[in-house]
Homo-oligomer: A and B are copies of this chain.
Amino acid sequence: MNPQSTIAVSTRNPCRMCTPLGAAMVFSGIADAVPFLHGSQGCSTYIRRYLIGHFREPVDIACSNFGESSVIFGGWQNLHTGIHAVIEQYHPRLIGIATTCLAETIGEDIPQMIHRLEQELPEDGPILVSVSTPSYQGSHSDGFHRAVKAVVEKLAQPGPAGRHINVFSGMICPEDIRHLKDIFAEFGLQATLLPDYSDALDSGIWNRYEKNIESGTPIESIRRCGQAQATIEFSATGDFSTSAGETLLRRFGTPLYMLPLPVGVRQCDTFFERLSVLSATEIPARFTAQRSRLIDSYVDAHKYVFGKKAVLYGPADWVAALAIFLCEIGMVPVLCAAGDHKGTLQEHLREHLPGTMDSITVVEDTDFASIEQMAAGLKPDILIGDSNGYKMSRNLNIPLVRLGLPIHDRIGASRMTAIGYQGTQQLFDRIVNTILEHQQDNCSIGYTHL
């Protein structure tokens, strides 16, 4: 018995962001909605600061600004005042209330408070949606999924069946959202993407100061989620507890397709073939051409990546999708490190990567101190994950391909795509060229032709 195994080790440099951050992203991506944190002002400042650093866009997050007395007497008064202030300032149609550690720890009864608020608000007042997101329970990715589920639970209505498709993409970058919308349009499918922060968190230059809450998924579309032809939800880990698609399946019988994130040829094929079935049309030529060129580029570069070892870190859904993509191109994801905890990552990879699991270490609920320690022993050729891995990259002299959130030491986080054949192409090129650059720059003779 290892005596150390019973000692609780504190988290050192967590490989995840706070849970309400994900919820705030979701509420930012709903039209006429305002994200609202129930807790102290530091939490909203921290989250705004990270979202601003990543997206480089104005981000508005309201807060109930807990003080000492709120902690003692409860936050009802602050919530009440805050909600009314938000209504006065923004005239929103929805307020998305995410709780913080503090609010959850003192045991705030949010459903009851929402009920009280709803009773006093006028008929045409904003919809109030709440989601429980203490950071000691889950990651920013969990907060994201839970917020989508909370919105759908509150809003989705029964009604006559339509042809539209619900798309719960999980946390992807704005350019990937735009690409998804293009894909559905090209298939002739009407899609409700929830959330859609492709404008709110990646807008162009403004003509005048805006409150920046108009863009995003329309509330009417969310109401009609229960009448959709089907739901597509990107999730590799099959976590029903945070699945909005599960809510719709259970309540309205809406068929649910839980697909892996469409990264890499095979995972994209699964997605595109599903769209082909749902739309009863062939896959449009534009995408088959992208697919063919993507495979052509795989072939062109296959010797540069074969057997190359990668360390992946981030949310489990992303780590799973990336690991399967890397194996498809001949790389070995020697360490698959999820910052969140699903408990299913190992099993999912074993199922999709039979026979290669011997060379793959899977960990969940880990931190950067552990990842770096393991990575040092595994001697990988590349790291793939968010900017928080830069310190490790520098310590180990292993190049880092930035993907995920936060990315605060490069520009264009909103455009670091991975979704679809097109996004995969960009990611693939970045991975291969990062490997080539490192080899070339560290080669004593300096290759000029490769």
Contacts and interface: CB of A to CB of B under 8 A. Distances in A.
A371 B304 CA distance: 31
A409 B436 contact: yes
Interface residues of A, number: 42
A433 B446 contact: no
Contacts of A300: 56, 411
A203 B297 CA distance: 10
A292 B411 CA distance: 16
Nearest to A290: B204
A288 to B, nearest CB: 8
A433 B410 contact: yes
A344 to B, nearest CB: 32
Nearest to A291: B204
Contacts of A387: 448
Contacts of A7: none
A221 interface: no
Interface string A45-69: 0000000010010000000000000
A448 B56 contact: no
B411 A304 contact: yes
Interface string A283-317: 00000010111111101110010000000000000
A449 B407 CA distance: 9
Chain B CB within 10 A, most for which of A394, A440, A447, A448:
A448
A433 B434 CA distance: 13
Given A299-B205, A415-B425, A415-B429, A450 B408 contact: yes
A269 interface: no
B449 A409 contact: yes
A433 B437 CA distance: 14
A432 interface: yes
A108 interface: no
A390 interface: yes
A53 B448 CA distance: 11
A292 B205 contact: yes
Interface in A154-203: 202-203
Interface string A324-364: 00000000000000000000000000000000000000000
Contacts of A425: 415
A412 interface: yes
Identify the 7 closest CB pairs spanning chains A and B, nearest first: A204-B292, A412-B429, A56-B300, A204-B293, A205-B296, A301-B411, A205-B295
Given A411-B432, A415-B429, 17 more contacts: A203-B296, A204-B289, A205-B292, A300-B411, A388-B448, A390-B440, A390-B446, A391-B446, A391-B448, A394-B446, A408-B448, A409-B436, A409-B440, A409-B450, A410-B450, A412-B429, A415-B425
